[in-house]
Amino acid sequence: MFSLPLRDDAHLGPLEVWHAAEFAAHLDRAREHIRPWVGPSFVTDDVAGARATLQRYAERQADDGARLYGIRRDGVLVGGVMFTAFDAAAGSCEVGCWLEPSAEGRGLVTSACRVLLDWAFTSRGLHRAEWHCRADNERSSAVAERLGMTLEGVRREAWPYEGTRHDKQIWAVLANEWGSLTR
């Protein structure tokens, strides 16, 4: 398995089905913190649910679709990044992330997303990458900005959470923009 350094104490690597116990333990630390910001099927409550989430992503990756990667700090899983959607034929993807509170504010998500976007644009030849987040998730919007993405629009009341509908921002960066951002 590969592990790419994000900084001295943090690495990015695949999250696979055999990581279910580690993923479940991580979600125990992160669950309530990330629940408002990620899809409900992602936040599981036990090892069986964690295994099912990892299996779902493994199947999508086998079909050249969505992919899931963990961020480990000092060897401990503290969050991750993913292609929530990946369509090579259409030339587009959507990138997402999550972190437990102890890992926030260290630039880990931005660094990890740069790795994913570099791969999507450079190795896979994709044309467009999107970032979707609740409009009131300032931390997530800030990552999209740091990645050089453009806010393309807001889908009004498109994100239901606990009986309230929230606005959803759509950010994007195109391959030719990414190339000029990374030079």
Read off the pLDDT of residues 99-125 as tens digits, 9 standing for 90 and up.
999 999 999 999 999 999 999 999 999
- Read off the pLDDT of residues 145-169 as tens digits, 9 standing for 90 and up: 999 999 999 999 999 999 999 999 9
Question: Among candidates 24, 19, 32, 15, which has minimal Cα distance to 161?
Answer: 32
* Residues pairing with 168 in the sheet: 134, 155
Structural tokens at position 49: 């649910």
Residue 1: band (very low, low, confident or very high) from pLDDT cuts 50, 70, 90:
low
- Under CATH, which number does the domain 4-181 receive? 3.40.630.30
Whether the pLDDT of residue 183 is over 60: the answer is no
Give the side-chain half-sphere CA count within 13 A for 158: 12
What is the edge-to-edge ordering of all strands in the sheet holding 76-87? 4-7, 10-14, 67-73, 76-87, 92-99, 128-134, 164-174, 150-161
Whether the pLDDT of residue 179 is over 80: the answer is no
Displacement of CA 5 from its chain's centroid (Å): 17
Distance CA 129, CA 32 (A): 28
pTM exceeds cut of 0.85: yes
For residue 70, the surrounding DSSP H or E stretch is strand 67-73
The pLDDT, as a whole number, for residue 17 is 96
Radius of gyration of the chain (CA): 16
The pLDDT, as a whole number, for residue 7 is 85
Q: What is the identity of the amino acid at 42?
A: F
**Contacts by 28-31, CB closer than 8 A, 24 or more apart:** 29/100, 29/102, 30/79, 30/98, 30/99, 30/100, 30/101
- The dihedral built from the CA positions of residue 129, 132, 75 and 8, taken in this order, carries a sign that is positive
